[in-house]
Amino acid sequence: MKGEIKETAGKMAEEIRERQNPDGTWSFCFENSPMTDAYMIILIRSLYFKEDALVSQLVKRLLNMQTKEGTWKLFKDEAEGNLSATIEAYFALRYSGLLHEKDPRLVKAERFIKHMGGLEKAHSLTKMMLAVHGQYEWRHIMPVPIEVLLIPRTFPISFWDFSSYARAHIVPFLLVRDARYHLQSARTPNIRHLFLQGRSDSLHDIDEDRFFLFEKLKEGIKGLAGFPELLRSEARQFAKDYMLKRIERDGTYLSYFSTTFFMIYALKSIGYRSDSSIIKNALDGLKRMICQTDNGPHVQNSPSLIWDTALISHALQESGLSFENETIRKSVDYLLKHQHYKFGDWAIYLPDVSPGGWGFSESNSIHPDVDDTTAALRAITYSAGAKPEIRHAWERGVDWVLGMQNRDGGWPAFEKNKTKGILASFPLDGAEAAAIDPSTADLTGRTLEFLGSRAGLTKDHPDVKRGITWLTMTQEENGSWAGRWGIHFIYGTWAAVTGMRAAGVPSSNKRIGKAEKWLENIQRTDGGWGESCYSDQRGKYVPLSFSTVSQTAWALDALISISDQPTPAIEKGMGRLLELLHSEESSPAHTYPTGAVLKDVFYAHYHSYQYIWPLLTLNHYLKKYG
């Protein structure tokens, strides 16, 4: 089998090299939920932009993705369908003007929406979009006054305690809600008949934590000096300035589709015209996020150019390609050009740490994250060893990563110590995951893996030791770790195990042993691994009925890092991985979403993952076993 592994790895490396762009990048689609496609249709139609061809293509894609029952799903094994995704697609198709409201496909979707409880059972993001277009009452959504934006950072709870992702969304939400903004015209479809119960029960049943949060926010607002109307005006100006200062060079607001979409309506609510340069540039930026899929054009929430380029460059170097090779040299040159030199919001509480990170998307210049930074640093490590100017960039990146370590010893995604649990009670669905930016097993494990394998830091280094301690304290009873940005326990366990092993934790360590046993216990009879997105939603391991390429590669990579000799589980798994790599790329093994972004809303299918993780795993097997 080693011969087949070597041959497959060689062919994969050559194929991925041939896909490199002239500028040194690799561009793959970051495919997420139908929401972005639906929202793009709604945006174009509601603002009367002349984009009929694009609307037609997006409508075709949505219809291609509709199930025979008339629903839309976030992942293949989702029962029946996803209510919010179905509402969004239904409203977008109605708004497109290309389907009659009595079209059988729309009738089926409407029947499902009613069956699932109507508009009031949708996700907060969906309700916000509907409210903007006059289909939902603002009084039922996020009853938070805009003045909370002015609560000083010194107060126990303030706007600045939220994660950067949450802040980016909360600002336009508060602005449009404060104005009770409705953008309706003759072409706006009326779907208010799908609001079945007359109110949103979830916002009326306030639990103790949410009550405490509201009381604290009220207390913070009472402490503000000034007349009520003046404070409100000041808060609205703050919201406007916050968004405008974070517009990237491509016109988008922090390089996200979702934030940019709501920013456009927030600006409309304070008087901006649809033909203003800011709104037109924002639309152009969103159009540049479009990638091509088998079902037609898809609007990515945030293109993954930096992430994919860094990971592929590293994987090719792991397969034996020298840093002096032109393929690697071009990718390194590109990554160096996109290292951050600006102070972003992350620096508010870290004024002594210099910029040095990387973001997920090419346009991202002020919103770096730990995962992309360690990915880029892996890719430039060998080059940094030979060239002093690259060494300086590498050291800046390492310093930034070390500076981002949370006080508990783990690593967050975007900002340090955004961990106030009470903010999980903020009245937005998914706040428990998005409102804060805590340490996670995948980010901590991946950071430790970089520090151990590329930066030469061992388990005795104080920062590494704190990271390992955090991981040991957060391991699940069954031996797994929960991930945050991948699905879910397989991803977290892979990251934690490979991170601890790279830092020098021995295979005999009982935590490592428990993880190994868990991975072997969940191995499928076909030899592979497959985990459902339901694991992310339910907080417990839920298997798939099939194996996936990326999850099989993650599990194998973790087991390979543990064992000095190929075990039966590894051998059987490698055999299955080879079979999967030779299967149709359109099969669920390749296309099932194994990336997690926002629970119940975004699950991501990284088109690059069918190359990156198996290539790394195949080469790690060959390096270790012959």
Place of tokens 């517009």: 247
Q: How many residues comprise the chain?
A: 626
Report pLDDT for 476. 98
Report pLDDT for 537. 94
Report pLDDT for 200. 45
Report pLDDT for 626. 85
- Those residues with Cβ within 8 angstroms of residue 340's Cβ, 6 or more apart along the chain or in another chain: 355, 356, 357, 358, 359, 365, 366, 368
Report pLDDT for 352. 94
Residue pLDDT, tens place only, 406-434: 999 999 999 999 999 999 899 888 888 89
Cα–Cα distance list, 44 to 37, 51, 188, 244 (Å)? 11, 7, 12, 21
Mean pLDDT per 10-residue segment, the chain (626 residues): 93 97 98 97 97 97 97 96 97 97 96 96 95 94 94 94 96 97 92 78 60 88 87 97 98 98 98 97 98 94 98 98 98 98 96 97 97 98 96 98 98 96 89 92 98 97 98 98 97 98 98 98 98 96 98 98 97 98 92 93 95 98 94
Query: What are the phi and psi torsion angles at 393 (to 5°)?
Result: -65, -40
Q: Tokens for 317, please give them.
A: 């170097």
Indicate which residues carry an active-site annotation: 371
Cα–Cα distance list, 158 to 127, 163, 171, 218 (Å)? 25, 11, 13, 11
Residue pLDDT, tens place only, 540-595: 999 999 999 999 999 999 999 999 999 999 999 999 999 999 999 889 999 999 99
The angle that helices 549-562 and 489-502 make with each other, rounded to 10 degrees, is 30
Q: How far apart are the C-alpha atoms of 402 and 414, rounded to whole Å?
A: 13
Report pLDDT for 204. 47
Report pLDDT for 198. 55
Report pLDDT for 87. 98
Query: What are the phi and psi torsion angles at 290 (to 5°)?
Result: -75, 135
